[in-house]
Structure 1
Amino acid sequence: TLKVKTGDFINGTEFINYTLTITGAEFSEIYGWFGDKTIDINNQSIEIDFFEGISENGLVFNNPQLNFYINNAFGVPMGVNFTGVSSSNANGTTANLSGTITDSPQFVRAPSTSQVGNIATSVINIDESNSNMRDLLAISPNQFNIALTAEANYTNDDGSDRNFVTTESNVEVVTEINLPLNVKLTDVSRDFPTGIEGFDFEDADTIKLVLNTINQLPFDGTIDMQFLAADSSVLKEFPDILFFTSAEVPTSGKIEEPTTNSSIVKVHKGEDGGYQELLDASVLNLVMRVTSYNAGEDNFVKIFSDYELIIQVGTEVNVNHEL
């Protein structure tokens, strides 16, 4: 309280200066206007093993989804930018998210000043209707990179609504990748190597490698059989061997009866017979190439959990003995 006695006066050049020092201050709640700054709210990488060994390009999912569940306990509405979302694969190929989802920030709700201590949840769905999600998965990624930034007070730029923060305030981002097993495959390849060092049939004239398959999947498949040296160079290759075929897919979408197929690869002595290369090889590599049923007609097929593909590999050896 400043008291001015009768007869005293204060002129315009006088002032009072207070210096206040606060140390060890703590807060429980702060209210005010926090401005429109850009802040980092999530930066993570998600490892994906699903595509391991699958060739880049050729695998298309029908309406894959990337969903974000954002729980905001700050009294600050936000606009989240998704331009920092991308996928990458083992070959170093990167695909960046684009589409209407990245054209403008996506609104994230916030509790009001009468809801201190509560959480406002926002769900943001990214699919083929608002993005290029198919492109991000088409490269057979082994990693999703998610770097999200947010604009504080998005749609609240006039400051008419007060902001608040408490010691318990935080933003939690839960990311969900949804890959429906409704797919289209076009010449998708994958390697299946196995060691064969020490393989030897000294007296054999011809070796027949027999491949039997029982297939319930809606896929057609061929293989390239390769004999590889220790340095992975190809010593001998038998290309385009029919491996398995798809049954007709009924209107219900589910195949009940599997198809069977048998293929024989003859390896024999002599020029270009593959016998010596088989003896010299360290690895037998099967390069499988798969195309889904009617993929050329832009048809998607469903994959059911009880589908089976049974592969049986055997050998027949012709041996001549002189008596």
Structure 2
Amino acid sequence: MQDEYNFDKLDDEMEVELGILSPIAYGSLNLEDLISEFDSTSFISSEPDGLLLITYQDSLFSYIADDLLNIPSTDFIQYFIESDFTLLPGFPGWNIGDTLVLQRSEDFPFSFSQGEKLDSMILDAGTLNFNISSQFLHTGNIIISSSNIKLNNVPFVDTIVVDDASGGFTADRSANLDGYTIYLEDSVGSDSMFLTMDFTVQLINSGAAINAGEEIEINATIDNMDFDAIFGYIGDYELITQSGDLDLGFFQNSLDGYIRFENPQINFNITNSYGVPAAVSISRFVGFKGDTDSTLLTFDSTIDTFGYAFPSIADYINNDIYKDTTISINSQNSNVSDFLAFLPSSIEYALSANSNPEGESGPYNFVSDDSQIDIDFEFVLPLWFQADSFALEEIIDLDLVDIDDDANFIERINIMLEVYNGMPLEIDFQVYFVDSLYNHVDSLFSLNSQPVIGSATIDETTGDVLSPGTKTSLVEFTGDEITALNTVRYGIIRAGLKTPSDSNGDLVSVKFYTDYLVDFNLSVSIDVKANTNDF
């Protein structure tokens, strides 16, 4: 055998060429999936017919009555019970041990700070404090009562015993008003409300005279008041004042182009249990793009100042005090479509609400201690729009630092993308490869091969999809191109969107439903060439 073959001349160098083809991704995406990639600040829902909605929500504010309305401590009584006659010892009917009764009734003003004219207050807590001094040289009783202060329909009564006949009697007294109702009375020709108090003084003859000008001084305050409910005209309060901002993620990732939504809505959802009418004014609503560019949302007089539902006294009695109102800013009462066409990435707002815009002539008021007003902000974008060159962009981590380790063995990488577009939307797709400083390294598609994924065919009248668009794209990377990718640290995904045009070349507004899908297959083939001398 050795005569026929010379194995010493056999070359031990071997070269292997191998082709590998593998699908690496496939699936279906709808517009909800696409938007979620570019916007994590919203949530996406659908209407009963399947129309997709992008919604941004924020709680503007929530106030309870206890935070807004306080009943101030009231020094409402400084009263003098004075003798206007002299009664000497031995006067008939005025002997030692006899009792002389003095009675007085007085209306005292009950003052507030905001022009309130309350007719009643139910107190969770409160204290009625008395400071009493007597110049009379007799013992006795001072009885303070009011049929305008009641607990379980029983009038308030308090008796102070005068046990010092020296003329220097003093006493401090506090009465608990927890759970009491205070009834206030109006008076013709006055802006104040009044509390009627009754005083009965029983003087027990100690043998001394009663001299004209001698008096009992009574000072009283109500403090530590915490109300369960108040009724009547509560005055002109600034119930709410609020300013803030809201990020719109969908537009934060948009670069340029044109998009116009057909039926966008900005909703103020209000839940209110104040039994008080109010007027809400929007003083500022501005959209910002970047740090400087801005646009103003304008609306007609029905939105500039608006009211909201409030419970009546009958609702209070029936324990049905929570009333809901939605104030909607839309294309019929504002420039919201033009506002959004500006592509604002954030908005700033300011609004306020004042009670009783009609003054005292308006509806009867009540407020309970847990009355509350909640206002939520909702920005609803139905996915019904027309767009041209509207670009979305997202940055992803894409570290290819190790790719050049195998570059010597890879002759070629082919990436094939097959797309079946069931959306009424033309998609111009690109991935840019950038280094750690976001400098451009390469792109997935060259300038002339960047795929435009054609829109599905639509019915121009309804905008409904009739048949999908299709696109197959092939990308090839070789030798030096593969090696250069080792500096790549990020990928920038850019999707340009365009809705179809009608036969006249005008853009058509189209609707996007939950069952509109983009099906795709992504596969890669790698041609490997390896030589044993390389190992």
TM score, norm. by length of structure 2: 0.50
The answer on 1:39 being equivalent to 2:239 is: yes
What are the ranges of 5 or more consecutive residues in structure 1 without an aligned counterpart?
9-13
Inter-partner Cα distance in structure 1 for 2:436 and 2:339: 35
- Over residues 116-166 of structure 1, what are the superposed CA-to-partner deviations in whole Å (9 max), with x where a residue is unaligned? 353444331111111232355446566555543112212x13545443322
Determine the structure 2 residue equivalent to 1:249.
458
Number of equivalences:
314
Contact preservation (8 Å) 1:242, 1:263: yes
Deviates more, 1:159-168 or 1:256-265: 159-168
Determine the structure 1 residue equivalent to 2:371.
169
Equivalent AA in structure 1 for residue 488 of structure 2 = A
Distance 1:18 1:4, change over 3 A: closer
Contact preservation (8 Å) 1:210, 1:264: yes
- Secondary structure of residue in 2 paired with 1:110: coil
Determine the structure 1 residue equivalent to 2:154.
none
Distance 1:191 1:162, change over 3 A: closer
Determine the structure 1 residue equivalent to 2:74.
none
Determine the structure 2 residue equivalent to 1:213.
419
2:485 aligned to 266, 278, 286, which one?
278
**Structure 1 residue 221 displacement after superposition:** 1.7
**Structure 1 residue 205 displacement after superposition:** 4.5
Inter-partner Cα distance in structure 2 for 1:277 and 1:247: 37
The answer on 1:97 being equivalent to 2:297 is: yes
Contact preservation (8 Å) 1:213, 1:243: no
Distance 1:30 1:199, change over 3 A: same
Contact preservation (8 Å) 2:416, 2:473: yes
Contact preservation (8 Å) 1:81, 1:102: no
Determine the structure 2 residue equivalent to 1:232.
438
2:473 aligned to 263, 266, 272, which one?
263
Distance 1:171 1:56, change over 3 A: farther
- Secondary structure of residue in 1 paired with 2:485: helix
Inter-partner Cα distance in structure 1 for 2:251 and 2:336: 15
Determine the structure 2 residue equivalent to 1:290.
497
Determine the structure 1 residue equivalent to 2:389.
187
Inter-partner Cα distance in structure 2 for 1:91 and 1:102: 31
Q: Which of the pair is proportionally richer in strand?
A: 2
Deviates more, 1:278-287 or 1:85-94: 85-94
What is the root-mean-square deviation of aligned Cα atoms in Å?
3.9
Inter-partner Cα distance in structure 1 for 2:369 and 2:388: 54
Distance 1:31 1:224, change over 3 A: same
Equivalent AA in structure 2 for residue 68 of structure 1 = F
Inter-partner Cα distance in structure 1 for 2:491 and 2:272: 54
Determine the structure 2 residue equivalent to 1:152.
355
- Over residues 260-294 of structure 1, what are the superposed CA-to-partner deviations in whole Å (9 max), with x where a residue is unaligned? 20122333457xxx444334323343322121222
Equivalent AA in structure 1 for residue 463 of structure 2 = G
- Secondary structure of residue in 1 paired with 2:430: strand
Determine the structure 2 residue equivalent to 1:312.
521
Max radius of gyration: which structure? 2
Inter-partner Cα distance in structure 1 for 2:489 and 2:81: 97
Alignment of 1:2-151 (within 5 A): 19-40=219-240, 49-50=249-250, 53-55=253-255, 58-87=258-287, 95-100=295-300, 104-116=304-316, 118-138=321-341, 145=348, 147-151=350-354
The answer on 1:199 being equivalent to 2:403 is: yes
Equivalent AA in structure 2 for residue 199 of structure 1 = I
**Structure 1 residue 170 displacement after superposition:** 1.8
Deviates more, 1:257-266 or 1:32-41: 32-41
TM score, norm. by length of structure 1: 0.78
Deviates more, 1:281-290 or 1:297-306: 281-290
Deviates more, 1:114-123 or 1:24-33: 114-123
Determine the structure 2 residue equivalent to 1:11.
none
Equivalent AA in structure 1 for residue 519 of structure 2 = I
**Structure 1 residue 64 displacement after superposition:** 0.7
Inter-partner Cα distance in structure 1 for 2:498 and 2:477: 27
Equivalent AA in structure 1 for residue 495 of structure 2 = M
Inter-partner Cα distance in structure 1 for 2:416 and 2:393: 19
